[in-house]
Amino acid sequence: MKDKRLLITGGAGFIGSHVVRLFVNKYPEYQIYNLDKLTYAGNLENIADIQDAGNYEFIKGDIVDRSTVSTVFKDLNIDHVIHLAAESHVDRSIEDPMAFIETNIIGTMNLLDAARESWNADDGHLFYHVSTDEVYGSLGKDDKFLESTPYDPQSPYSASKASSDHLVRAYHNTYGLSVVISNCSNNYGSHQFPEKLIPLAINNIKNQQKIPIYGKGENIRDWLFVEDHAEAIDTIFHNGQKGETYNVGGNNEWTNIGLIQLLCSIMDTKLGRKDGESAELISFVKDRAGHDLRYAIDSSKLQSQLGWNPSLKFEEGLEKTVDWYLANDEWMSGVTSGSYKKYYEKQYGASE
């Protein structure tokens, strides 16, 4: 893949910024193009450290705009795609499902069409689509999601991602487009917009505000450190079998309440508060509509076939995450003020 011209969509967002940084630094022989609309969750400060790299270029644009996507492929002679751009917050998908249909389905189709029109099937190109475990629906107590698990999306968000997954497979089967797909569990780490559970809780604990928890906090999620996810994407991009799907999980199942209690304990230590002080901020709120009880990823295919494994235990990764947010007040203030303030203040509940 030497000298490849790689388009990464959504590279100013949470996961995308970590992927862009990894590829720009690790592969100086690649030309990396970052296409991002810069919505509320996209922030160029997330990648300020590599903005002047010689093998990197940022392009502001919307994947829903077909002409923009076509122009990018044509003018930049794109060889490969890692597609991360997506609307991703379940609560917002319940309030405004059309935005998710447009970005996650229409946007993905625009990228697929541009790739199909630009590439020959046998020229070594790759369209890598990054998706979510939420497409599988909810689990019982003991099962785990496999790559063969039937899709059963329960929210507008997960339905839109399931649709985009199906489109990617259809373009592979119908047009011979070279693709891979990965479905990941809940990510956590630095640079995550504080609508999501962990950064929202960190910010609220720091400011001694209520920590909203849906229902009784019994919902279970598998947590994946975002830098481990970026490494998995790197592994799949370079070594994944064409046409295959790979599940990416952290093997870290936690109930929401258990996670928040651990986070409160870490924050008490970091902030010099008495043990149990931050836990007093926990506030249970009305459960979200269609809230899946449990997600858990089986990553054995990725581990056995491609040799990837998560590097951090959850407690270690969570402490590292807390340290970053406490050391980056300016970043947090920036994303929760100004043009972001109205949206942020509207959030009333925690989410995954």
pLDDT at 288 (0 to 100):
82
Q: Are the CB atoms for 88 and 64 separated by under 8 Å?
A: no
Cα-based distances in Å from 222 to 49, 143, 185, 352: 30, 12, 6, 10
Q: Are residues 215 and 86 in the same domain?
A: no
Active site residue 133: yes
Q: Are residues 262 and 169 in the same domain?
A: no
Q: Which pLDDT score, from 0 to 100, does residue 344 have?
A: 43
Asked if residue 330 and residue 214 are part of one domain, the reply reads yes
The token pair that represents 28 in the structure block: 């100086």
Please report whether residue 105 resides in a domain. Answer: yes
Residues 229 and 271 in one domain: no
Residues 335 and 267 reside in one and the same domain: yes
- Count of the separate structural domains present in the chain: 2
177 plus 31 within the same structural domain? yes
Please give the backbone phi and psi of residue 70, each rounded to the nearest 5 degrees, phi first. -60, -40
In a shared domain, residues 61 and 32: yes
- Same domain? For 40 and 181 the reply is yes
Q: Domain of 265: which CATH number?
A: 3.90.25.10
Per the domain annotation, does 296 fall within a domain? no
Among 134, 165, 253, 292, the active-site one is 134
pLDDT value for 1: 52
| Shared domain check, 212 and 64 | no
**Whether residue 217 sits in one domain with residue 85:** no
Same-domain pairing of 29 and 150: yes
Active site residue 298: no
Taking the C-alpha atoms of residue 121 and residue 272, their distance in angstroms, rounded to an integer, is: 59
In a shared domain, residues 18 and 72: yes
pLDDT of residue 352: 43
Positions of the chain with pLDDT lower than 70, given as ranges: 1-2, 121-122, 338-352
C-beta atoms surrounding 74 within 10 Å: 12
At residue 114, the pLDDT reads 98
Q: What pLDDT sits at residue 351?
A: 41
Is 36 tagged catalytic?
no
The whole-number pLDDT of residue 71 equals: 98
Q: Given this model, what pLDDT does residue 350 score?
A: 40
C-alpha to C-alpha distance for 88 and 59, rounded to whole angstroms: 21
pLDDT value of residue 122:
66
Domain residues for the domain of 212 are 194-221+254-288+313-346
Q: Chain-centre distance of CA 314, in angstroms?
A: 17
Residues contacting residue 180 through CB under 8 Å, at least 6 positions apart = 126, 127, 128, 129, 236, 237, 240, 241, 242, 243, 244, 245, 246
Question: How confident is the model at residue 349, as a pLDDT?
Answer: 39
CA distance 209 to 104: 33
- Marked catalytic residue, from 56, 136, 157, 295: 157
